[in-house]
Structure 1
Amino acid sequence: MALNPRTTHREFFGAPGAAAVMVLTVAVVFVWYFSCSASAGCQLPLTAAQWARIAAGAADYRAYVSPRAVAYYALWWLWLALLYFAIPAPRAQGVVLRNGQRLHYPINGLPSLLVTTAVAALAYAVRGAGPFLWIADHYFQLAVASLLFSTAQAAAVYAYSFRRRPARDPVLLALAGNSGNVLYDFFIGRELNPRVGALDLKFFNELRPGIMGWMLLNTSFALAQRARFGAVTNSMWLAIVPQLAYCIDTLVFERCVLTTMDITTDGFGWMLSFGDLTWVPAMYSLQARYLSFTPVRHSAPAAALIAALAVCSFLVFRLSNSEKNAFRTNPNSPAVRHLRYITTESGSRLLVSGWWGLARHVNYAGDWFYGLAQCLATGFATPMTYFFSVYFLVLLLHRNHRDETKCREKYKKDWARYCEAVPYMFIPYVI
């Protein structure tokens, strides 16, 4: 088999689907900003006047393409890239690649966050809330700056994938990104692990500029709410505390990302570049942005129920993922050696007890309900703040389909045995 075979199966129905996804996702960022703000309200369906305002706002690019915001965003990315190199860190090995190599990655995302948080705290001590209020007020200009940056990065990485390498060590392409169609390969990602020197672009972008940018936006929106209304409401805390905890959790378990499909399988193209740098911070901070201009105050029982849903769903997500990671790392560990499993013909072991005996993707269920709790924090005045739950459901169902397809092809009849032993996909006795 050739190291870089031509891609035959194309996700998203090929180039037309890729183009549609690019247009649709960018349009969602624009529509949700122009139709959900302090001046526009936040209601669906949109009126003709709102659509006209969106069209006018989108056409007036001078109102949201800010050189200052672009410069600040570039400095933000460069600052985190500097910490990637500057902070001493243990190095983790990735999975074995098709060419037999294993890449090494510095696991210093959490220290990078701590240093960045210390700098932000110092800025607050010296200058007060001013810099953070500027971020909240210029949220959309920063989102557009990230869009321009992520698109330029994707174009640069696509062009970089054609560089000359020795015949004995060619550029390793993603199996899904070598179709020969420029638009599709640009979107899906042509090179598997593009690196500029020691900077692994896919790994760096996955958890740092976007995840930490999301945290910074949430903090800024909370300060903006306090500046407008004199206090931070319980709804704001219910929205941002779980999100901050989620972000910190991803950085604490940073090395676990090395076995995810994003790192092991997908190329690094516009889809991941835009998703990491623009989509995550711009759309995932929607709840905090809404609450910054529409304060919601929950009763104590309602707040307790939302908090309980967040805590319970987070525990399902974290404990199930930790159990799987512990079993993969050392199945003879006292913590997991009691678990039952099926041994496949390929030698892999599939858990059929513990968390993974409840459902084949029980972690996805925990992840989704955790996001739903954050949406519930915004109340029920508008469906627009529930976009995250709807989008995340589609994302998880698509990821589940890819997982099931890959496992069915890899394990064949053993996968049928596994599905018989663990019949539920997400929630035991439900689905």
Structure 2
Amino acid sequence: MSSSKSKSVARRGAELNPRTTKYEFFGPPGALFVTLTVPITTYALYFGCSEQAGGCPPPAITTDAIVAALSDPQWWKGLWDTEAALMYLGWYAFCVAAWFVLPGDWVEGVTMRTGKKKMYKINAFTTMLLALGLTGGYIGRYGPESFTFIYDNWVGLVTASILMSVVQGLGCYAASFRPGALLALGGNSGNPIYDFFIGRELNPSIGYFDLKSFNELRPGLILWVLIDISMMCEQAVRRGGYKHITDSMWLASAFQVFYVFDGLYNEPAILTTMDITTDGFGFMLAVGDLTWVPFVYSLQPRFLVFRQKELGYAATAAIVAVNVLGYVIFRAANGQKNDFRNGKNPKNLKYMTTERGTKLLIEGWWGMSRHPNYMGDLIMAFAWSLPTGFETPITYFYVTYFAVLLIHRQMRDDENCEKKYGKDWHKYCKLVPYRIIPYVY
């Protein structure tokens, strides 16, 4: 290759992959902090809220007891479980095989900076149906006691998922230095700690197999459902059969399973989210998808295994109503957005047109707030915690964390929109002043 051609290629690469000049998460120190605290928090939510530890929280937990445990080599060895690691590896391999084997439509993603569009195979929902069919058959043949191993091997499975996240984060970071890789605009800072965490490459793929979208919807989300089923099996064993599973366990599990069903059934909707279109794939998304989602979001059913609660008809109806309200807002808002992006406006909702020619809804759900879908998500998250009662604030960790996450996402999204639309964004914000919850935030 001639020197002039090499310079041209290098210039083209620099134009497509400019250096990141603005940090998120307070830069490398913040990225390192989150990298360390996400696994620590996942373990802490188990050891601070479990039957094995003595309660939620354990009654005798002290600083001295924590220091003593962390100083004991046997405690650290207890985090590893070879059988659980093999189970997790087998589960991940099953999800990969299902992606390749099961049929599915191929759908275009959004236009990338290269002017091209990636193709995504849509078969997450059928993957879940296959997994549930095999699980149901296994439990039907061998009984509920055969599927309690997730509850019994919790710590080992968490460790295996964290290890998988680290391996993927490091692998994707190393692979992002190959020629021609399209980098995320926010992940090319040059700092290895930050770029490993935030994700340097936008869409790491092996052929048509896109690692980011695969992890977003398959191994973690479907495992979340299997975890809930395992918690129900554990409670059924303790209480003498399926008929004796508490209404609180049915509620918490049903809400979460339905949420996953809905997300996987509407799989193409994820292709327009910030995770897919903007963020790189690094340790942040890997550990979020593979560890945080299944093992933190399922805290309520795990709690209800050893703190069994009967709610009664009135409380059950009230909690269902809260969840339905959240779902209606979430799904209706997303439906309006997706219709509008596809050139449909069946209710003739008002909108403003920016100088770029982009149209922004200012009526309907999107006239009430800039992120009404986040409001629906938060209401559902609150409903998932209500079946646990008010015995401990720990079971409300999810909704608290989720509020912080969604506010952070809202701030990132608003910042990107301000860069994109300029003065039109300020005009839009005056027309739609509330960020998530009308009259509150």
Q: TM-score range by the shorter chain?
A: over 0.9
Counting only pairs closer than 5 Å after superposition, residues 26-425 of structure 1 correspond to structure 2 as 26-39=39-52, 40-43=54-57, 46-48=61-63, 51-52=66-67, 55=70, 60-163=75-178, 165=179, 170-230=180-240, 231-331=244-344, 333=345, 335-336=346-347, 338-425=348-435
> Secondary structure at the residue paired with 1:95?
strand
Deviations 1:401-420 (A, max 9, x none): 00111111211121122122
Alignment partners' CA distance in 2, 1:403 and 1:280: 22
Q: TM-score, normalised by structure 2?
A: 0.93
Identity %: 45
Assess if the C-alpha contact under 8 Å between 1:35 and 1:50 holds in 2. no
Deviations 1:327-368 (A, max 9, x none): 11123x5x24x1110001111111111111111111111100
> Secondary structure at the residue paired with 2:262?
helix
Assess if the C-alpha contact under 8 Å between 1:154 and 1:186 holds in 2. yes
> Secondary structure at the residue paired with 1:94?
strand
Alignment partners' CA distance in 1, 2:273 and 2:72: 38
Assess if the C-alpha contact under 8 Å between 1:190 and 1:267 holds in 2. yes
Assess if the C-alpha contact under 8 Å between 1:35 and 1:54 holds in 2. no
Q: Which amino acid aligns with 1:117?
A: L
Pair 1:324–1:301, CA change in 2 (3 A): same
Q: Which amino acid aligns with 1:346?
A: R
Question: What is the deviation of 1:267?
Answer: 0.5
Assess if the C-alpha contact under 8 Å between 1:44 and 1:382 holds in 2. no
Question: What is the deviation of 1:57?
Answer: 7.3
Alignment partners' CA distance in 1, 2:67 and 2:307: 23
Question: What is the deviation of 1:283?
Answer: 0.2
Alignment partners' CA distance in 1, 2:370 and 2:207: 39
Say how many residue pairs are matched.
Answer: 423
Q: Which amino acid aligns with 1:140?
A: V
Alignment partners' CA distance in 1, 2:314 and 2:116: 55
> Secondary structure at the residue paired with 2:352?
strand
Assess if the C-alpha contact under 8 Å between 2:176 and 2:201 holds in 1. yes
Assess if the C-alpha contact under 8 Å between 1:34 and 1:53 holds in 2. no
Q: Which amino acid aligns with 2:275?
A: D
Q: Which amino acid aligns with 2:278?
A: T
Partner of 2:8: none
Assess if the C-alpha contact under 8 Å between 2:49 and 2:58 holds in 1. no
Question: What is the deviation of 1:232?
Answer: 1.1
Q: Which amino acid aligns with 2:384?
A: Q
Assess if the C-alpha contact under 8 Å between 1:18 and 1:184 holds in 2. yes
Assess if the C-alpha contact under 8 Å between 1:225 and 1:232 holds in 2. yes
Question: What is the deviation of 1:64?
Answer: 2.4
Assess if the C-alpha contact under 8 Å between 1:43 and 1:383 holds in 2. no
Name structure 1 gaps, 5 residues minimum: none
Question: What is the deviation of 1:73?
Answer: 0.7
Assess if the C-alpha contact under 8 Å between 2:145 and 2:237 holds in 1. no
Pair 1:8–1:59, CA change in 2 (3 A): farther
Deviations 1:187-224 (A, max 9, x none): 11111100012210001000100000100001100111
Alignment partners' CA distance in 2, 1:51 and 1:273: 28
Alignment partners' CA distance in 2, 1:58 and 1:271: 28
Assess if the C-alpha contact under 8 Å between 2:161 and 2:290 holds in 1. yes
Assess if the C-alpha contact under 8 Å between 1:5 and 1:178 holds in 2. yes
Pair 1:363–1:175, CA change in 2 (3 A): same
Q: Which amino acid aligns with 1:327?
A: F
**RMSD of aligned alpha carbons:** 1.6
Pair 1:54–1:94, CA change in 2 (3 A): farther
Pair 1:120–1:44, CA change in 2 (3 A): closer
Pair 1:50–1:31, CA change in 2 (3 A): farther
Deviates more, 1:407-416 or 1:315-324: 407-416
Q: Which amino acid aligns with 2:210?
A: D
Deviations 1:258-308 (A, max 9, x none): 111100111000000000000100100000100011101113222211111
> Secondary structure at the residue paired with 1:381?
coil
Picking from 9, 17, 20, the partner of 2:30 is 17
Question: What is the deviation of 1:32?
Answer: 1.1
Assess if the C-alpha contact under 8 Å between 1:36 and 1:42 holds in 2. yes
Alignment partners' CA distance in 1, 2:77 and 2:145: 24
Alignment partners' CA distance in 2, 1:135 and 1:110: 22
Name structure 2 gaps, 5 residues minimum: 1-13
Assess if the C-alpha contact under 8 Å between 1:6 and 1:178 holds in 2. yes
Deviations 1:150-196 (A, max 9, x none): 11111111111122x4xxxx110111111111111111111110001
Question: What is the deviation of 1:234?
Answer: 0.9
